[in-house]
């Protein structure tokens, strides 16, 4: 498990990300949606990806209604394993924008929280595919375009509880430990380039996934999703690489 540090207390200026383009996976999820809005608020053009087109349309409308830069929608299923489909995604981005400044891996499949003996093979494979394999493959195909940016970032999301490698976290826990290792390896490989690779850990947050991983837990003060998304944007802008940033020490 990688050591965590606090998110850098930098001030995000208005329109700081103007003319920059960011791809967010799982854009309609709790943290994905908040992050998409936070990036757009800062002036970025956000490419929204996910499986549910109707939810993507709603988020698109929310961003436009707020007066932020017009986003783009690319429906995409991360359960796909064919690399050509991932290459087509990045080709679409290049054809439309000719650039990519960041990739936020907000998509996540939780699977079953329980003992290893209760983990169905198909569900285990799905968790690893969505949380790890797809993130690795998408990062790979995005790298050539990211490396053309003056400063580009790849941001992975971990979990303050699942990363402890304790009992009952199952495939989800394994995927979070794996994603942290992937992020650090990638940072090492990209040393000396314009691309940084980091991990963001939201901590106890008002997210739908929190209700699944901590059912019935009410004796804590969760951070708002909005606050977590603002911290994530700071991680996106960090010049450091290979770092596990933690938004909060709560839960």
37-41, 223-227, 241-245: least confidently modelled range: 223-227
The pTM for the full model equals 0.91
Give me the torsion for CA of 87, 157, 149, 189, rounded to 10°.
Answer: -80
86 is catalytic: no
Confidence of residue 56 (pLDDT cuts 50, 70, 90): very high
Asked whether residue 1 carries a pLDDT value surpassing 90, the answer given is no
Helices and strands of the chain, counted as H and E runs: 8, 8
Asked whether residue 40 carries a pLDDT value surpassing 90, the answer given is yes
Instruction: Look at residue 250 in the predicted model and tell me its pLDDT.
Output: 43
Mean pLDDT of 22-36: 96
Mean pLDDT of the chain: 90
Asked whether residue 212 carries a pLDDT value surpassing 80, the answer given is no
Asked whether residue 213 carries a pLDDT value surpassing 90, the answer given is no
State how beta strands 4-6 and 45-50 pair. unpaired
Instruction: Look at residue 248 in the predicted model and tell me its pLDDT.
Output: 67
**pLDDT (tens digit, 9 = 90+) per residue, 94-125?**
999 999 999 999 999 999 888 989 889 999 99
**pLDDT (tens digit, 9 = 90+) per residue, 171-195?**
999 999 999 999 999 999 999 999 9
Confidence of residue 11 (pLDDT cuts 50, 70, 90): confident
Q: How far is CA 12 from the centre of its chain?
A: 19
State the CATH architecture for 18-246: 3-Layer(aba) Sandwich (3.40)
Name the residue ranges covered by the structural domains of the chain: 18-246
Confidence of residue 204 (pLDDT cuts 50, 70, 90): low
**pLDDT (tens digit, 9 = 90+) per residue, 66-88?**
999 999 999 999 999 999 999 99
**Closest by CA position to 90, among listed 159, 162, 146, 50:** 146
Confidence of residue 21 (pLDDT cuts 50, 70, 90): very high
CB-CB neighbours of 40 under 10 Å: 25
Catalytic residue among 60, 68, 86, 172: 172
**pLDDT (tens digit, 9 = 90+) per residue, 227-236?**
899 999 999 9
Instruction: Look at residue 209 in the predicted model and tell me its pLDDT.
Output: 52
**pLDDT (tens digit, 9 = 90+) per residue, 235-245?**
999 999 999 99
Listed in sequence order, the residues at least 6 apart from 196 whose beta carbon sits closer than 8 Å to its beta carbon are: 151, 152, 153, 154, 187, 190, 238, 239, 240, 241, 242
Confidence of residue 217 (pLDDT cuts 50, 70, 90): very low
**pLDDT (tens digit, 9 = 90+) per residue, 116-163?**
898 899 999 999 999 999 999 999 999 999 999 999 999 999 998 878
């Amino acid at each position: 498990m990688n050591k965590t540090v606090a998110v850098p207390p930098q001030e995000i200026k208005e329109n700081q990300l103007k003319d920059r383009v960011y791809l967010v996976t799982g854009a309609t999820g709790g943290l994905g949606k908040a992050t998409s809005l936070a990036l757009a608020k800062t002036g970025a053009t956000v490419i929204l990806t996910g499986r549910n087109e109707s939810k993507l349309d709603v988020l698109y409308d929310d961003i436009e209604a707020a007066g932020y830069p017009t986003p783009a929608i690319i429906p995409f299923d991360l359960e796909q394993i064919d690399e050509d489909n991932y290459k087509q995604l990045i080709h679409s981005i290049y054809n439309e924008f000719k650039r990519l400044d960041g990739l936020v891996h907000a998509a996540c499949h939780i699977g079953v929280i329980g003992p290893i003996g209760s983990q169905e093979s198909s569900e285990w494979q799905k968790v690893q595919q969505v949380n790890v394999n797809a993130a690795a493959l998408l990062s790979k195909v995005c790298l050539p375009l990211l490396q053309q940016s003056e400063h580009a970032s790849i941001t992975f999301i971990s979990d303050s509880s699942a990363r402890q490698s304790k009992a009952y976290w199952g495939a989800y826990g394994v995927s979070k430990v794996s994603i942290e290792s992937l992020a650090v390896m990638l940072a090492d490989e990209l040393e000396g380039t314009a691309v940084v690779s980091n991990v963001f850990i939201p901590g106890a947050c008002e997210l739908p996934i929190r209700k699944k991983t901590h059912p019935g837990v009410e004796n804590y003060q969760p951070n708002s999703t909005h606050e977590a998304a603002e911290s994530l944007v700071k991680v996106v802008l960090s010049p450091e690489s290979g770092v596990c940033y933690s938004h909060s020490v709560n839960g």
